[in-house]
Amino acid sequence: MSVSSTRRHVMKGAIFATCSLALLAVANPARAAEPGVAEKTIKIGVLGSLTGPLAVFGTGNLAGATMAFEEANAAGGINGRTIEWVSLDDESSPPKGIAAYKKLVDQEQVFAVFGPAASAVGQALVPTFKQSKTPTFISVFSTPAVTEPPIPVVFRTGPMNDRQQGTAIANYVVDHLKAKKIALIRQSDEYGKRGGESVSARLTERKLSLVADESFNIADTDFTAQLSRINQAAPDVLIVYGYPNPSAIITRQAKQLGLKATVMGANSAGSRKYPEIVGEAAAGTQNIVTLKVLPEGDDPAAVKFRAAFEKRFPDLARQGRPDLGDVLGYGGAQVFIEGLKRTGAAPTQAGFIKALESLKNFETELTLPTTFSATEREGNQAARIVEIQPDLSRKLLPVVVSADGETAK
Rounded (10°) CA dihedral 239, 163, 192, 124:
170
CB atoms inside a 10 Å sphere around CB 124: 22
Q: What is the mean pLDDT of the chain?
A: 91
* Rounded Cα–Cα distance for residues 224 and 253 (Å): 7
* Rounded Cα–Cα distance for residues 268 and 120 (Å): 14
Q: Is the pLDDT of residue 149 over 90?
A: yes
Cβ-Cβ contacts under 8 Å for 10 (sequence gap 6 or more) = none
Looking at residue 49, its amino acid is: S
* Rounded Cα–Cα distance for residues 246 and 269 (Å): 9
Indicate the domain borders of the chain: 41-160+297-378, 162-289+384-408
Q: Is the pLDDT of residue 42 over 60?
A: yes
pLDDT (tens digit per residue) in 353-362:
999 999 999 9
Confidence label for 311 from pLDDT (cuts 50, 70 and 90) = very high
Region 269-298 average pLDDT: 93
Q: Is the pLDDT of residue 409 over 90?
A: no
Q: Do the domains spanning 41-160+297-378 and 162-289+384-408 agree at the CATH topology level?
A: yes
Query: What CATH number belongs to 41-160+297-378?
Result: 3.40.50.2300
Q: Is the pLDDT of residue 76 over 60?
A: yes
Query: pTM for this one?
Result: 0.88
Write down the pLDDT at residue 268: 83
pLDDT (tens digit per residue) in 319-348:
999 999 999 999 999 999 999 999 999 999
Region 85-102 average pLDDT: 98
CATH of region 162-289+384-408, choose from 3.40.710.10, 1.10.3720.10, 3.60.110.10, 3.40.50.2300: 3.40.50.2300
Beta strands in 149-300 (DSSP E): 154-156, 182-187, 212-216, 237-241, 262-265, 286-289
Region 376-391 average pLDDT: 96
Q: Is the pLDDT of residue 2 over 60?
A: no
